[in-house]
Amino acid sequence: MKTWSELTEIQPLASRIMTNSIQKDRISHAYLLQGERGTGKEAVALLLAKTLFCSNRSGVEPCQECNACKRIDSGNYPDLHWIEPDGQSIKKEQIEHLQKEFTYSGMETDQKVYVVKGADTLTPNASNRILKFLEEPSKQTTAILMTENSSSIIPTIRSRCQIIDLKPLHPQAFQEQLIHQGISRRSAVLLSTLTNNLDEAVSWSEDEWFAQARKLMIQLVETFSTNAHDAYLFIHQQWLPHFKERPQQEQGLDLLLLAFKDILYYHIGRKDAMTVFAKDDAAIENLVLFFSQEKLLDILNKLLDAKRKLKQNVHPTLVMEQLTIQIQG
Amino acid sequence: MKFIVQRQQLISSVQDVMKAISSRTAIPILTGMKIEANANGIILTGSDSDITIESFIPAEEDGMINVEQIEEGSVVLQARYFPDIVRKLPDNTVEIESDENFNITIKSGKAQFNLNGQDANEYPHLPNLQAENSFDIQSDLLKDLIKQTGFAVSAMETRPILTGVNITIENETLHFTATDSHRLASRRVPLEGVTSDSSNIVVPGKSLNELNKILDDTGEKVEISVMNNQILFRTKYLHFLSRLLDGNYPETSRLIPDQSQTVLHVRTKELINTIDRASLLAKEERNNVVKLTTKDNQLLQITSNSPEVGQVAEEISVQSLEGENLKISFSSKYMLDALKVIENDEVIIKFTGAMRPFVIQPADDDAILQLILPVRTY
């Protein structure tokens, strides 16, 4: 996605909005790009920055050749500022740096562009500091905020940005891409539900850890149905040692969520939509017999609860223990 | 790129340039130092994006050859290791060479370093010089100007424009003004032969402090050029660039009272010492307040009172005291800051009432002006 025309194929609407405003020279002072992982938020931000800084662009397309374009790609353009979450959230110092930059003149040009990645991780304090700038933009300054979770952006910020919605990628098209990369259809289906990013999906499919994680997930679901009392032990002996880091724990819950969703799909006869289990898997019939529909709905709710708790920094061991007991009961 | 340079020259240039380089930068390339070689000599550049320092080593100077065997080119090398390497090299000359893959070879005596460099095209481009908007000033005068105004800039980011020093040129006068909204410091200097129109810019106080450190007061000429978004201070071998603060500086001339009710002539040194003593009992959380009371017989009383500590009172005789009697409280810190930068034996202090700002000026010079707001006490 290096040009606006390439972007049009994936995000027709967003691309239209942006190119039109460039052509009519009506670029907004702030954009809020919202869309899931891999929908091209960063590509849009980079393209917009290049369009603004490129010294010999043709029409709306930046040249990709000039010094400014190259330095934007390598992250060395002095008037383009990237703010990324440092760990869990965007820290106060980062916003202070940004505020300082707001008050200085540009280094090479009068144009300044600020990109805030993961704008949902701004603490309320930090968002309010940014507000000040969004309210009184200095001339020739463009802010680009990116988020996967648009609902956690405070309304005062939303109302001051032009919101660009990036459509989720078409899962079938993505699966085809993955199969094209030499990934088996079953893995492709599973991976496409977990990520929209092609590179990430390919690296996962080759990752020993991910294969093991998937195996553990199926084992855990089966343990619940055959030997519920062992589940607690299983969590401690197998699950927790494998899912160590926070992103891994979240992924583990995602996998469980998919598995239970599959069982529910089997119940209601939507066998085509299943992602983890194959249609004719013997295992799933046992599981369907064991879990009732009401029970499954309850489990899904509990899983979503557990995900939320992880996000709120509840200790992961406790989250998993509670979840196990809830599913057992 | 290739050249051979005298090590001593290189060391001092690298030291100057390193002052601008910080380890925490917004863009990765700025952790490096740019080296450019051309037929006239070599140029080292360092920057933290706020300030940029360029140091020039001429190929030949007063018959001395500093740089030889120059092949033109430029490269960016890692500033973390370069200064130490240069400092510890064995021989008096250093050979630096880079190839098209930005591999840098540093040779001196029998020692050889191979460093990975970066493309100089990635380095920020500095604005081109526009000669029309520039003027000359003596470096010691410039240092004075910075010293006499720079201390008064605001340390708070709530009004960012006040963290800078306002520099204006109008009617052949150069004017430096700084204020943090509780005090104001300003100084005028006549400029001769400036052809440029009036200009009005705000330079960050931090940048001026750095400039003050790097300039030596030998009285050499500094050429100041104001460009679109940067200001350049240029001495013979050193270029100092700073970004400007964006925005309009508040109009300060209205703040300065043009009449006065009480005028004091007082010896600077004595007043500094007296206020310094009184401030020992003044508390920082109460703005270091000291109180000045006029007495008869050309006497002043300076007092300070902290109920939980105790109190201090001291009388000081003044050269002359005209006008109404007065009781006024002010921050001893601001007063001392202002008095210390006035390098004159006697100062004039003009008051216009206990609730109005007062003005401090050297006795024989109205180019320097320090304004302080009093503190309301009960």
* 3-state SS track over A53-116: HCCCCECCECCCCCHHHHHHHHCCCCCEEEECCECCEECHHHHHHHHHHHHECCCCCCCEEEEE
Nearest by CB to residue A75, choosing from B27, B50, B121, is B27
Question: Where, residue-wise, is CATH 3.10.150.10 in chain B?
Answer: 2-122, 136-215+225-253
pLDDT number for residue A196: 72
- Residue of chain A minimizing CA distance to B156: A100
Rounded Cα distance between B140 and A76, Å, is 37
Q: Can you give the pTM of this predicted structure? A: 0.78
> In terms of pLDDT, which residue wins out, A311 or B47?
B47
Tell me: the pLDDT tens digits for B175-224? 999 999 899 999 999 887 666 666 888 999 999 999 998 888 787 888 88
Nearest by CB to residue B121, choosing from A67, A100, A107, is A67
Query: Could A77 and B27 be called an inter-chain contact, meaning their C-beta atoms sit closer than 8 Å?
Result: yes
Distance from CA of A110 to the nearest CA of B (A): 7
Residue B359 in this model has a pLDDT that exceeds 90? yes
Residue A78 in this model has a pLDDT that exceeds 90? no
Does any CB of chain B come closer than 8 Å to the CB of residue A110? Answer: yes
Residues in A touching B230 (Cβ below 8 Å): 105, 107
Query: Could A70 and B50 be called an inter-chain contact, meaning their C-beta atoms sit closer than 8 Å?
Result: no
Residue B273 in this model has a pLDDT that exceeds 90? yes
Query: Could A108 and B28 be called an inter-chain contact, meaning their C-beta atoms sit closer than 8 Å?
Result: no
Distance from CA of A76 to the nearest CA of B (A): 5
Ordered domains of chain A (ranges, CATH)? 4-165 (3.40.50.300), 207-328 (1.20.272.10)
* Contact call for residues B355 and B376 (beta carbons, < 8 A): yes
Query: Could A105 and B26 be called an inter-chain contact, meaning their C-beta atoms sit closer than 8 Å?
Result: no
- Residue of chain B minimizing CA distance to A71: B122
User: Looking at residues B248-265, what average pLDDT do you find?
Assistant: 88
Does any CB of chain B come closer than 8 Å to the CB of residue A106? Answer: yes
Per-residue confidence band for B275, with pLDDT thresholds at 50, 70 and 90: very high
Query: Phi and psi (nearest 5°) for A81?
Result: -115, 125
pLDDT number for residue B349: 93
Percent of chain A's residues with pLDDT above 90: 1
Distance of alpha carbon B25 from the chain centroid: 22
Rounded Cα distance between A139 and B351, Å, is 42
Chain A interface disruption, residue of B27, B34, B226, most A CBs within 10 A: B27
Other CB atoms within a 10 A radius of the CB of residue A306 amount to 24
- Residue of chain B minimizing CA distance to A94: B26
* B353 Rama sector, left if φ>0, alpha if ψ -120 to 50, beta otherwise: left
Question: Where, residue-wise, is CATH 3.70.10.10 in chain B?
Answer: 256-372
- Residue of chain B minimizing CA distance to A84: B26
User: Looking at residues B110-135, what average pLDDT do you find?
Assistant: 82
CATH class belonging to B136-215+225-253? alpha beta
pLDDT number for residue B130: 64
Rounded Cα distance between A144 and A44, Å, is 9
Distance from CA of B357 to the nearest CA of A (A): 29
Per-residue confidence band for A287, with pLDDT thresholds at 50, 70 and 90: confident
Per-residue confidence band for A137, with pLDDT thresholds at 50, 70 and 90: confident
Residue A328 in this model has a pLDDT that exceeds 90? no
> In terms of pLDDT, which residue wins out, B213 or A269?
B213
Q: What angle do CA A133, A136, A138 make, to 5 degrees?
A: 85
- Residue of chain B minimizing CA distance to A82: B26
Query: Could B26 and A70 be called an inter-chain contact, meaning their C-beta atoms sit closer than 8 Å?
Result: no
Residues in B touching A105 (Cβ below 8 Å): 228-230, 243-246
Does any CB of chain B come closer than 8 Å to the CB of residue A103? Answer: yes
Residue A311 in this model has a pLDDT that exceeds 70? yes
Mean residue pLDDT of chain A comes to: 83
Query: What single letter denotes the amino acid at residue B60?
Result: E
pLDDT number for residue B196: 62
Mean residue pLDDT of chain B comes to: 88
User: Looking at residues B324-329, what average pLDDT do you find?
Assistant: 90
Query: Could B125 and A67 be called an inter-chain contact, meaning their C-beta atoms sit closer than 8 Å?
Result: yes
Query: Could A76 and B161 be called an inter-chain contact, meaning their C-beta atoms sit closer than 8 Å?
Result: no
Positive or negative torsion for Cα A320, A325, A326, A328: positive
CB pairs under 8 A between A and B: 65
Does any CB of chain B come closer than 8 Å to the CB of residue A67? Answer: yes
The helix (run of H) or strand (run of E) holding residue B60 is strand B60-61
Query: Could A103 and B160 be called an inter-chain contact, meaning their C-beta atoms sit closer than 8 Å?
Result: yes
Tell me: the pLDDT tens digits for A152-194? 888 888 888 899 888 877 777 778 878 887 787 777 887 877 7
pLDDT number for residue A66: 86
Query: Could B28 and A67 be called an inter-chain contact, meaning their C-beta atoms sit closer than 8 Å?
Result: no
User: Looking at residues B323-332, what average pLDDT do you find?
Assistant: 90
pLDDT number for residue B195: 62
Q: What sections of chain B are H helices per DSSP?
A: 7-18, 82-88, 139-150, 205-214, 268-278, 332-340
pLDDT number for residue B348: 93
pLDDT number for residue B361: 92
Residues in B touching A100 (Cβ below 8 Å): 157, 160
Nearest by CB to residue A75, choosing from B28, B161, B229, is B28
Per-residue confidence band for B153, with pLDDT thresholds at 50, 70 and 90: very high
Query: Could B123 and A76 be called an inter-chain contact, meaning their C-beta atoms sit closer than 8 Å?
Result: yes
Query: Could B127 and A97 be called an inter-chain contact, meaning their C-beta atoms sit closer than 8 Å?
Result: no
20-39 in chain A: CB under 8 A from chain B: none
CATH fold for the domain made of B2-122: DNA Polymerase III; Chain A, domain 2 (3.10.150)
Structure-block tokens of residue B215 = 């300039």
Does any CB of chain B come closer than 8 Å to the CB of residue A172? Answer: no
For domain B256-372, the CATH architecture is Box (3.70)
